[in-house]
Amino acid sequence: MTENIRFAFQGIWSHKLRSFLTMLGVIIGIAAIIAIVSTIQGTNEQIMQNLIGAGNNGVTVSLRQGEDDYYMDMGAPAGVQPVSDEQREEIRKLDDVEDATFYLSRSYMDSVTHLDRTLDSGSARGIDDHYLNTCGYIVYQGRAFIAHDYSTFAKVVLLDEIAAKILFSGEEAVGNTLEIRGEPFTVVGLIKKSDNFQPVINSFEDYMTYHQEEYGTIYMPDATWPVIFGFDEPENCIARAKKTEDMSHVGKEVVEIMNKSVTASNSQITYKAEDLLERARNQQELASSTNNLLIWIASIALLVGGIGVMNIMLVSVTERTSEIGLKKALGARKRTILAQFLTESAVLTSIGGILGVIAGIVLAEVISRMSDTPVAISVPAIILGVAFSMLIGIVFGLLPSYKAANLDPIEALRRE
């Protein structure tokens, strides 16, 4: 085998231009497939990161009326009890849950003011002491809520960056006062996401998913919430799964526990989980199905390359007929001749596969820079690409090799 490989390299080197042109179809096909697969993988990772967040793995469980969100602006629904302390602990002790928070929410607020500034269309949340950790927030100015704030029903708030900018543009927010429905609240801290997750807006659907973050949110202790909005409102839950692949499973378990609080005969009102993992998978499948068509198109180049290899190997057999006849006359067996030509064909396409992988990686990086499309180089795709190129050499080199192995030595030696 080693000797066959050496002969193969000698043959390729002695006909460098012809060998390169023969490999060109394989190089183009493998390069196109590597670039497309890298783009698919990069896009899939971007979709997963955009929808789920950079490792946050948060699953939101909220009250729904049918398939739509139930808005508490309409008042608390009859037959839905607040989540009990036992249910909270049961959720936090689930095997796949790292932490969980329970919060009250208003989607739109038009009564948050500071002097002549108003937080139009902002949102408000009444949060427990697990919220910041579970949702991945840090306090970058001031302080977080402390146990005293909850026990004394303190009128204190946290603001995100957008709310602080709208209400306190150019002013110091921490220590200052704002009004919520006429009640004064003191700003004790400013918060932001602790990671660098910035969603990439590539479509109108992406815009609709993230645009609500543009309006700002205020946070108050959930114990203080009834002072503004009333008593005994159902809460939402965000459970942080230990692993991304556990998110759907965690959502189902949390829903089951929280729905114990729903005693209404109207089955339209229930807790449901927002399955971002499933949504990400659906978007990935849509992106992949489109790109898979491109892979099939790129595979045509491999077919053309394989035909080129078969053609050049037939030419090689014709050129080396006398050599084959001499070897057979000296006692070379059919399988020896067959192995020699198959090895030469496989080495030829393997070199093409390696060059195609290099070209594919370069092409993927060029596409990424020119179109701002994320790419992720797939190691399995590289290994499969080289292996597949070798397989092409074996398959398309089989006929020429079989022809060489079955030449009649006497007829072969007669040819010039």
- State pLDDT tens for residues 120-160: 878 899 999 999 999 889 999 999 999 999 999 999 999 99
Better-scored residue on pLDDT, 120 or 173: 173
Task: Tell me the two tokens of residue 107.
Answer: 């989607």
Can you give the pLDDT at residue 265? 61
Give how many domains the chain has, as a whole number: 2
CB 375 within 8 A of CB 408: no
In the chain, DSSP finds a helix count (H) and a strand count (E) of 14, 13
Query: Same domain for 241 and 287?
Result: no
- State pLDDT tens for residues 304-347: 788 888 877 777 776 666 666 767 666 677 777 777 777 888 88
Query: Same domain for 32 and 74?
Result: no
Report DSSP state, residue 211. Answer: G
Query: Same domain for 123 and 237?
Result: yes
Q: Could you give the 3-state DSSP secondary structure of residue 266?
A: coil
CB 261 within 8 A of CB 55: no
Query: Same domain for 92 and 121?
Result: yes
Domain boundary among 220, 244, 267: 267
End-to-end CA distance of the chain: 29
- Whether residue 61 lies inside any domain: the answer is no
- Whether residue 337 lies inside any domain: the answer is yes
Range scoring the smallest mean pLDDT among 93-102, 188-197, 273-282:
273-282
Question: How many other C-beta atoms lie within 10 A of the C-beta of residue 196?
Answer: 6
- Whether residue 204 lies inside any domain: the answer is yes
| Pairing mode of beta strands 112-114, 97-109 | unpaired
Residue 301: give the domain boundaries: 2-50+282-414
Query: Same domain for 234 and 343?
Result: no
What does the alpha-carbon distance between residue 236 and residue 272 come to, in Å, rounded to a whole number?
10
- Whether residue 33 lies inside any domain: the answer is yes
The rounded Cα 32 to chain-centroid distance in angstroms is 21
- State pLDDT tens for residues 195-221: 654 555 555 455 555 554 567 899 999
- pTM of the predicted protein model: 0.62
Mean pLDDT rounded to a whole number for the chain: 80
6 CB contacts (<8 Å, ≥6 apart)? Answer: none
Query: Same domain for 225 and 336?
Result: no
- State pLDDT tens for residues 39-96: 777 776 666 665 555 457 788 888 887 777 777 766 677 778 888 899 999 999 999 9
Domain boundary among 236, 267, 298: 267
- Whether residue 317 lies inside any domain: the answer is yes
Query: Same domain for 256 and 334?
Result: no
- State pLDDT tens for residues 360-408: 889 888 888 887 777 778 788 788 888 888 888 888 877 777 777 766 6
Query: Same domain for 133 and 205?
Result: yes
Better-scored residue on pLDDT, 235 or 292: 235
Domain boundary among 243, 267, 291: 267
Query: Same domain for 102 and 242?
Result: yes
- Whether residue 362 lies inside any domain: the answer is yes
Region 172-190: mean pLDDT is 94
- Whether residue 168 lies inside any domain: the answer is yes
Query: Same domain for 242 and 380?
Result: no
- Of all residues in the chain, the percent with pLDDT exceeding 90 is 24
Please classify residue 140 by burial: count the beta carbons closer than 10 Å to its beta carbon, then call 0-12 exposed, 13-18 middle and 19+ buried: exposed
DSSP-assigned letters across all residues of 40-94? HHHHHHHHHHHHH-SS--EEEEEEEETTEEPPGGG-PPTTBPPPPHHHHHHHHTS
- Please name which of 193, 189, 93 lies closest in space to residue 133, comparing C-alpha atoms: 193
Can you give the pLDDT at residue 204? 46
Task: Tell me the two tokens of residue 74.
Answer: 């309409």
What does the alpha-carbon distance between residue 234 and residue 262 come to, in Å, rounded to a whole number?
10
Q: What separation in angstroms does the CA of 397 have from each of 11, 303, 342, 344, 406?
A: 15, 13, 6, 8, 14
- Whether residue 55 lies inside any domain: the answer is no
What does the alpha-carbon distance between residue 122 and residue 247 come to, in Å, rounded to a whole number?
28
Query: Same domain for 289 and 254?
Result: no
Query: Same domain for 252 and 353?
Result: no
CB 45 within 8 A of CB 372: no
